[in-house]
Amino acid sequence: MKKYKELKVVSIPKWGPYLREQWIQSFAGHLTKPEQKAINLDEFLWHLCSWRKVDCVEGENALEAFQKQAKTKCTIFFQHKDEAYLIEKARTITVNHLPYDPSHISDGDLYVMDWDRRWTFMMTHESQCGPYFISLD
């Protein structure tokens, strides 16, 4: 991830599996394990939104919700990589700061999650799906 003067970015290698599990507990915990399996949540977390299993906003509305969301500390992680980042001073983070490359499916699915797990923003490798934003508040 690029360094940005206004953000305090800390690389947290190997945190990907832990953060994905925390994400599932926070945003998909209302589904049973069989329900999670039925929507292939283990392959793509954002299926929670594309299968309409949670209230969310998508597309331009999701981008706007992310931009407007108050941010203090958050994590950035990927679907298929264990690399992750902690953004300690996230107040000014925007979509343009995110290390997102939809042309590489291995890291094209990107998740931003509030440190307190109250909201999440997802960008997918599928041009017709997402982005998505979920707020638990």
Give a yes or no: residue 2 inside a domain: no
- pLDDT surpassing 60 at residue 7: yes
Give a yes or no: residue 3 inside a domain: no
pLDDT, tens digit (0-9, with 9 covering 90-100), for 22-38: 999 999 999 999 999 99
Give a yes or no: residue 4 inside a domain: no
Give a yes or no: residue 129 inside a domain: yes
- Which two three-digit tokens encode residue 76? 């950035």
Give a yes or no: residue 1 inside a domain: no
pLDDT band with cut points at 50, 70 and 90 for residue 13:
very high
Give a yes or no: residue 86 inside a domain: yes
Give a yes or no: residue 107 inside a domain: yes
- Beta bridge mates, 75: 86, 113
pLDDT, tens digit (0-9, with 9 covering 90-100), for 80-98: 899 999 999 899 898 888 8
Report yes or no: 99 and 106 within 8 Å, Cβ to Cβ. Answer: no
Instruction: Give the structural domain span for 30.
Output: 9-135
- Which two three-digit tokens encode residue 127? 């041009």
> Of 68, 88, 84, which is closest to residue 76 (Cα–Cα)?
84
Confidence (pLDDT) at 102 = 59
Give a yes or no: residue 83 inside a domain: yes
Distance CA 21, CA 125 (A): 20
Q: How many domains does the chain have?
A: 1
Distance CA 58, CA 111 (A): 14
- Which two three-digit tokens encode residue 104? 């590489």
